[in-house]
A and B are shown apart, each in its own frame.
Chain A
């Protein structure tokens, strides 16, 4: 059992001939909330997607609670783990997407229950109880029987977060979850994430919302061209950026100008 909940060691990832992650190192302890900021193309979303193997990576390693994710090196040969093993490892993390990706043919509670029944092998009534509890946590118990098509964007995203958290992951991954929302719906989602952070959930949050990163994170990572440009305490980084690139980037956001 390692000291770190999440370890990223020398992560390298290419799309074809284009190298997108050029050696990323990061360690995260349980209970931390890490915000990842940076411009488009900096690699922040790609790094997040490597953690739950939605993207393969060619070099380096990722460990969750000391367990190697996705690949195993035996006798000097690096091999991708079996699909079944990778599926099991994916349940260690929970992910919320920019496009919500709710299953449109299931109700809100049905969406949350699917993983509980099929992956965690819970009985249906037990799963329903857990699902309803989490929908209540995100403030949507009264909408449990609605279909995604009947919910607003903010409501859909909250159901998506409930779906991920209900699986009881060790680590939550948020991929720009407010970027696709109308401005007036952004706050309800941020409130939910803040509440989860206050309860001690370990999170990695890729976001454009600078005020949110400032208020909630224990640490901020600034990604720049496939590498970590700067990292540290949010107050330090936003008020006294040490690198030119970060200073430039912060100027573009109204909160940090």
Chain B
């Protein structure tokens, strides 16, 4: 293992690596934010929607969850241009990840809302709360505590999924590392380095999630 060589090369390429890291964070953040917004709508449709809406949401969720992320990425990359939406790889990739994220978030929300005992809705009705009030003050807050850990998990999944965009040529971290490897032939060192970087990001997310969970936990 050529450690000094590796550090030299890594330092020389620090701009490229930083740009890659930037892209990875941008991809992940966009996918998480947009995916969550979309996912909330899907989740609410799944839980409270009228039958046709629920079926559409169900079909959407089941179809997306049954499809590998890479297939979603390829489909987005290749298909969009034929239907007139000429998106560059970055946007196509983010779109695919957003859709993927939304299906997970939708399921998480549905699960959390349906896990709330029906007695909570009845007690709210009994004191005369309307449904919007019930959702805002009783159901929502309880669901949030259940959603949080699963959502943090989904966020980490998005960071890991961002690596797939290297396959369609988006200049995120993994692609930059692969470019470095093809120049320097230090595959062992650089793949290991990539692993460490991704691990660091995800581990930070995991710890942040645990911190938030502790802060919002109810006293028992």
Contacts and interface: CB of A to CB of B under 8 A. Distances in A.
**Touching in the complex, A and B, CB below 8 A?**
yes
Interface of A: 52-54, 83-84, 87-88, 90-91, 93-95, 97, 99-105, 114-115, 118-119, 147, 149-150, 160, 163-164, 167
Interface in B135-155: 137-138, 141-142, 145
B129 to A, nearest CB: 6
B219 A105 contact: no
5 contacts: A94-B127, A103-B123, A103-B138, A114-B129, A114-B137
Contacts of B133: 118-119
B129 A105 contact: no
B142 to A, nearest CB: 6
B128 interface: yes
Nearest to A89: B128
Interface residues of B, number: 21
A118 B137 contact: yes
Interface stretch (B86-94, B114-122, B167-175): B114-122
B117 A115 contact: no
Nearest to A163: B127
Nearest to A118: B133
A182 to B, nearest CB: 19
A91 B127 contact: yes
Contact of A99 (B119, B125, B137, B138): B119
B218 A115 contact: no
A120 to B, nearest CB: 8
Contact of B123 (A87, A102, A119): A102
A149 B219 contact: yes
Given A101-B117, A105-B141, A115 B125 contact: no
A235 B219 CA distance: 47
Contacts of B220: 147, 149-150
A249 to B, nearest CB: 27
Contacts, number: 78
A115 B134 CA distance: 10
B145 A115 contact: no
Contacts of A115: 127-129
B82 interface: no
A53 B128 CA distance: 11
Contact of A87 (B119, B130, B137, B219): B130
B131 interface: yes
Given A101-B122, A118-B137, A150 B219 contact: yes
A83 B130 CA distance: 7
Nearest to B116: A104
**Interface-central residue, B123, B133, B145, B219, by most chain A CB under 10 Å:** B123
A118 B129 contact: yes
Interface in B191-210: none
B129 A119 contact: yes
A97 B128 contact: no
Nearest to B131: A83
Residue picked from A87, A88, A147, most chain B C-beta under 10 Å: A87
A148 to B, nearest CB: 9
Contacts of A150: 219-220
A119 B127 CA distance: 8
Contact of B126 (A52, A84, A147, A149): A52
